[in-house]
Chains A and B, each alone.
Chain A
Amino acid sequence: MSQNKLRNRQVLRGLLTEIKSKAKSLNTPIKIMEVCGTHTMAIHRHGLKKLLEDSGIEMVSGPGCPVCITPNEIHEAAINLVTENNNFILTTFGDMTRVPTRKGSIQTIVPAAGSQVKIVYSPEESLEIARKNPEKEIIFFGVGFETTIPSIALTVKIAAEEKISNFSVLSALWLVPPPLNALVSAKDTKIQGFLYPGHVSAIIGEKPYYFIAEKFNIPGAIAGFEPGDILLALSSILDQKKTGKAEVANEYSRVVRADGNPTALRVMDDMLKVKDSLWRGLGLIPKSGLQFKSKYSAFNAEKKHSLKIEGGSGDLPGCRCGEVLPGKISPPQCELFGKKCNPDSPYGPCMVSFEGACLAYYKYQR
């Protein structure tokens, strides 16, 4: 299963030539949002950003970085848990530990007596920690989009089946289609096309994006993460723009099925319910988040530990991550970019995460 051709220079040159001519025939520059942070990284890493710009295609980063869009009040709730309670182990994905808040970051806080912070690769690892440490209370700070949500839900399902009583999840679970709806519904929207996320779509399929084509007539294509995948998807978006007939093209069909992953969708549906959620930079979006159904309250850290997730201290002063996420500004427009805020000492979450637009710009565009 070689994917080498999707990186082959000659292939990419051919694709770029075609894209250039298609973009030129539109007679006007086009602004396309790459929704997913992994796409942002790939576009910058492979040098496509500048090449596309020269062809009249402006790529704008979207809100597809879960670490970035999780507002500080949830990060601060996690910090409170592990600093105010003895004998807790807070587990989470690596990037989450570095997000700065007014209380510091999870990495820099001093845990209470007997408490610890542990980085995990898989949600299931947190369960293993719970099994091995029955005298401790394990909180998994679980963040993610539809790609990650089924894995977090399944982990809770296993915990419930095994009756593991020292484990719960502080969840920050985000759905991708609602913020896209919010972005295109805004009066001043300038987005003329969407590069849809590959692995979120592996779970949800094509249908949840149909409204963008049907109601707003904005072209889009689901893309994989090799440079060839991205260029094929952009080529389709330009074709749609040219003909004026918007659709949801699937250019990652080796991984994404039209109806997504039915097993994963069933797990989500069985265990979780939608709620209105507050996004960094995008505000409150109706039905844009998920929470565990009451049947699983014993594994919901908010309920189990009577957490109040509200009234956090907000973004750090001067950080413009909240304007980067909806594509309002590009990272170098922030006064702190590359100065006070850099990968060694990130001031905002978009510089922390490996999917953050600021980090992508810092690494590849300076």
Chain B
Amino acid sequence: MCLGIPAKVIEVDESKHGKIDYLGTKVKTNFYLLEDVKKGDWVIVHAGFAISKLNEEEAKETMDLIREYIDHPET
């Protein structure tokens, strides 16, 4: 029930309605819960509503942390 999917915003109008691209499928989405959202942003969508914007910097940090385990897998 709290399943959320990461998806890219492909369309958002003034009433904060629009669409996301999820694995090639365009899905109607309500963006009202996000203060600032634009085409090209990555968001988490739950039950037809975008609930959070993905922070690319933080995502990169997680990946950097993960990379350490690739470089030193058995330490």
| Consensus secondary structure, chain A interface | helix
Inter-subunit contact A254/B70 (CB<8 Å): no
The answer to whether B62 touches A253 (Cβ under 8 A) is yes
Interface of B is mostly: mixed
A219 beta carbon closer than 8 Å to chain B: no
Q: B55's contact among A65, A121, A154, A255, by CB below 8 Å, is which?
A: A255
A307 and B4 CA atoms in complex are apart in Å by: 32
Does chain A have a CB within 8 A of B6?
Answer: yes
Report if B23 contacts A (CB, 8 A): no
* In the assembled complex, A122 has its CB within 8 A of some CB on chain B: yes
Tell yes or no: A56 within 8 A of B by CB: no
Chain A contacts with B in 106-136, Cβ cutoff 8 A: 121-125
Partner of B58 from the list A124, A147, A253 (CB cut-off 8 Å) is: A253
Q: Which of B45-64 contact A (CB under 8 A)?
A: 46-49, 51-52, 54-56, 58-59, 61-63
Asked whether B69 lies within 8 Å of A154 as measured between CB atoms, the reply is no
Does A253 contact B74, Cβ atoms closer than 8 Å?
Answer: no
Q: Is B46's CB under 8 angstroms from A10's CB? A: no
Residues of B within 8 A of A263 (CB): 32-35
Within 8 A of B (CB), among A211-227: none
Once bound together, how far apart are the Cα atoms of A95 and B56, in whole Å?
A: 33
Beta-carbon nearest neighbor of A143 in chain B: B1
- Spot the interface stretch: A13-21, A276-284, A285-293, A335-343: A13-21
Q: How close is B38's CB to chain A, nearest CB, in angstroms?
A: 15
Set of chain B residues within 8 Å of A151, measured between Cβ atoms: 30, 33, 46-49, 51
Closest to B4 in A: A199
Within 243-257 of A, Cβ neighbours of B (below 8 Å) are at 251, 253-257
**Residues of B16-51 contacting chain A, CB below 8 A:** 28, 30, 32-35, 42, 44, 46-49, 51
**In the complex, residue of chain A having the shortest beta-carbon distance to the beta carbon of B73:** A14
From the candidates B42, B49, B61, name the one contacting A150 in the complex (CB within 8 A).
B49
B residues in contact with A147, CB < 8 Å: 1-2, 4, 46, 51
Inter-chain contact total with CB atoms closer than 8 Å:
151
Q: Which residues of A contact B56 (CB under 8 A)?
A: 1, 254
Partner pick for A8 among B28, B42, B62, B70, CB 8 A cutoff: B70
Interface residues of A in 86-111 (CB under 8 A from B): 93, 95
Given A10-B69, A64-B2, A199-B46, are A154 and B74 also a contact pair (CB < 8 Å)?
Answer: no
The interface of chain B, by Cβ under 8 A from chain A, is 1-4, 6, 28, 30, 32-35, 42, 44, 46-49, 51-52, 54-56, 58-59, 61-63, 65-67, 69-70, 72-75
Question: 5 closest A-B pairs (Cβ-Cβ)?
Answer: A122-B48, A14-B69, A14-B73, A254-B59, A254-B58
Known: A14-B70, A18-B75. 6 other contacts (CB 8 A): A1-B6, A36-B2, A65-B1, A150-B51, A198-B2, A229-B62
Report 30 cross-chain contacts, Cβ distance below 8 Å, ordered by A residue.
Answer: A1-B6, A1-B54, A5-B66, A6-B62, A10-B73, A11-B69, A15-B69, A17-B75, A38-B1, A95-B1, A122-B30, A124-B48, A144-B47, A145-B1, A147-B46, A151-B46, A151-B48, A198-B2, A199-B51, A228-B62, A232-B66, A253-B55, A253-B58, A254-B58, A254-B62, A256-B52, A262-B35, A264-B51, A354-B1, A355-B3
